Amino acid sequence: MTQPPRVLYVGPAGGDTFDATSLEQQTRAVRAVGGAVVRYTGRTLAELVEALEGVDVVMLQGHRFEAAAFAHLVSFGHGYDQLDLDAAVKHGVVLANTASFGTEEVSNHTMMHFLVCARKFVLHDKLVRQGVWSRAHLAPMGHIAGQTFGVIGLGNIGRAVARKARAFGLQVIGHDPYVAAWDAKEYGVEQVATVDELCRRSDYIIGRRQLDLMKPTAYVINCARGGVVDEQALIEALAAKKIAGAGLDVFEREPVDPSNPLLKMDNVSLTNHYASYSEVAWERAQTQMGEEAVRIATGMWPMSLINPDVRHTVPPRRPALAWEVYLRELTGGAPSAP
């Protein structure tokens, strides 16, 4: 490391949600290697571009950033819809996020929705609260063991879901054109060629479209992004009983409109976009921002690169190292800052 990294922190628009505790966690890795973090307080694009002068990398928390072509950047969380990946690639800008911090939480949340749907929990919880004690609404109810669980996307979360689904005795099939068949096999997942095939075969699915191809006993479970599922098509499929139900942590519009028909359906389990949260996971997401910022600022690839095509437009970089290993290398084995 030739000189300590200089990092710009860009928070949510307006700064009204600034959290000093989170910033302490985010800057931990940068401080550990003697670097500095400056908090951006401007409000215009011109001010932002000026603030980027002399900065090695930006840490972004929130959804405001119009200058993806000007500086390497680490975005908090999984989503990066607010970033222009094409512009970043063109200008040789490395973009990263903090994916993987909530892998266990999201996969657990997915399995929770799966069980809630499979056991008709929403309906029966409602009936008990209303004083109704009856076996009249039990059938049909799936056996779970031996049924087919479809996973769209076999990244960190998808593989964790597959591992947990197998523990329930489910046959797991998956579709992901970017994952090798051998890797899928290691997780006990049968690869299928298309989303259509997955939808036709599955009893339980992690969101997407092709609702018309699904079994009438199937459920859609979406703990990814609201836009992954055509919400209006889902509502219509549920109303027409083309599928058995759904478990949703995310929606096309958030917060959910009080008039949304999904809120009134007894075969739909709903949570308010908190699948990735636990105190442990959240702190990991915060500290991971700083770690990725240091990697990028010191000529290393980040662990979670979101614009891989940039490899063709930037000088060669070192492969990413685990933070504990890299920190020892950068500090000569000295203890890290608190």
Catalytic residues: 225, 254, 273
* Whether 226 contacts 249, CB under 8 Å: no
The count of other CB atoms within 10 Å of the CB of residue 309 is 12
DSSP structural state of residue 320: P
Helix (H) or strand (E) holding 190: strand 190-191
CA dist., res. 323 & res. 251, Å (int): 34
Burial of 192: CB neighbours in 10 Å, binned 0-12, 13-18, 19+: buried
The count of other CB atoms within 10 Å of the CB of residue 292 is 29
C-alpha pair distances (Å), 100 with each of 75, 78, 261: 13, 8, 33
Distant-in-sequence, close-in-space partners of 298: CB < 8 Å, separation ≥ 6:
1, 5, 33, 330
C-alpha pair distances (Å), 140 with each of 39, 171, 202, 323: 56, 20, 17, 50
Give me 25's structure tokens. 């966690």
* Whether 211 contacts 232, CB under 8 Å: no
Residue 16 CA to chain centroid, in angstroms? Answer: 24
CA dist., res. 272 & res. 70, Å (int): 34
* Sign of the C-alpha dihedral computed for residues 129, 130, 135 and 137 taken in this order: negative
Residue closest to 73 by CA, chosen among 305, 284, 282, 285: 305
Distant-in-sequence, close-in-space partners of 183: CB < 8 Å, separation ≥ 6:
154
